A and B are shown apart, each in its own frame.
Chain A
Amino acid sequence: DQQVKQNSPSLSVQEGRISILNCDYTNSMFDYFLWYKKYPAEGPTFLISISSIKDKNEDGRFTVFLNKSAKHLSLHIVPSQPGDSAVYFCAVNQGGKLIFGQGTELSVKP
């Protein structure tokens, strides 16, 4: 059974609006959460992370929210730009290993 799930395979957003990508996990013992971005023909690029002791981490246009009681993680991108169009993976740390979700393809339309 998948420990990390991204239930939306794709998301389409207008340029300038907010993009919200969601991720659910099963194990309350996970202590560190990450988001990666992947363009076609490239490897995933680390974007932003959050420790389980926090509920929010912000870096420029990117903010990650952690809701531990719901075992839910989200990434907000605002304002969205066409260059943000990519596949976004959430990942959780388990003893130094990363477990990835299946990804959400974000399309930002001009």
Chain B
Amino acid sequence: ETGVTQTPRHLVMGMTNKKSLKCEQHLGHNAMYWYKQSAKKPLELMFVYNFKEQTENNSVPSRFSPECPNSSHLFLHLHTLQPEDSALYLCASSQLAGGLPEQYFGPGTRLTVT
């Protein structure tokens, strides 16, 4: 695998379900990000992890729970979501500490909450 991978690519879940999104980066980066993209809106930053430590939570509701066990893996645990949470969820990675700020994105998970 190369670059940034995300699974699953598509997910349909009910409001009472619990599911998790997975992201893995194969670029040797030390920072990882979760973004949400809703239709016709800019990408919204949700969470930032630097060297496995969460450094940013952009006022995200607690029904979204991130986990970063190491610099290569990032999860987003979902529970009791609302229909308005339906969106494309994108993971990205970058190299901090002397690197340029370019972030590299995975293909995203298209989430539908019914």
- Interface residues in chain A, defined as those with a beta carbon under 8 Å from any beta carbon in chain B: 2, 4, 9, 32, 34, 36, 41-46, 49, 89, 93, 96-103
Query: Which of A46, A97, A100 lies in contact with B104, CB distance below 8 A?
Result: A46
* 4 closest Cβ pairs, A-B complex: A43-B105, A93-B101, A100-B43, A100-B42
Given known A89-B43, A97-B48, A102-B40, contact A32–B104 (CB-CB < 8 A): no
Given known A41-B107, A96-B96, A97-B56, contact A46–B102 (CB-CB < 8 A): yes
A100 to B56, CA, bound (A): 17
Given known A101-B42, A103-B42, contact A44–B31 (CB-CB < 8 A): no
Would you give the 0/1 interface string for B1-19, flagging 1 where the beta carbon is closer than 8 Å to chain A?
A: 0001010000000000000
A21 to chain B, nearest CB (A): 15
A102 to B40, CA, bound (A): 7
Would you give the 0/1 interface string for B35-49, flagging 1 where the beta carbon is closer than 8 Å to chain A?
A: 000001111010010
B101 to chain A, nearest CB (A): 4
Which residues in chain B, 32-78, are within 8 Å of chain A measured between CB atoms? 40-43, 45, 48, 56
Residue of A32, A43, A44, A97 with most partner-chain B CB within 10 A: A43
A5 to B96, CA, bound (A): 26
Chain A residues with CB under 8 A of B100: 32, 49
Smallest Cβ-Cβ distance to B103: which chain A residue: A98
A5 to chain B, nearest CB (A): 9
A34 to B101, CA, bound (A): 9
Chain B residues with CB under 8 A of A9: 40
Asked whether any CB of chain A lies closer than 8 Å to the CB of B81, the reply is: no
A54 to chain B, nearest CB (A): 13
Smallest Cβ-Cβ distance to A51: which chain B residue: B100
In the assembled complex, 30 residue pairs joining A and B whose CB atoms fall closer than 8 Å, in A order, are A2-B42, A4-B42, A32-B100, A34-B101, A34-B102, A41-B107, A41-B108, A42-B107, A43-B4, A43-B6, A43-B90, A43-B105, A43-B107, A43-B108, A44-B105, A45-B105, A49-B102, A96-B48, A96-B94, A97-B48, A98-B45, A98-B101, A99-B42, A99-B45, A100-B43, A101-B42, A102-B40, A102-B41, A102-B42, A103-B42
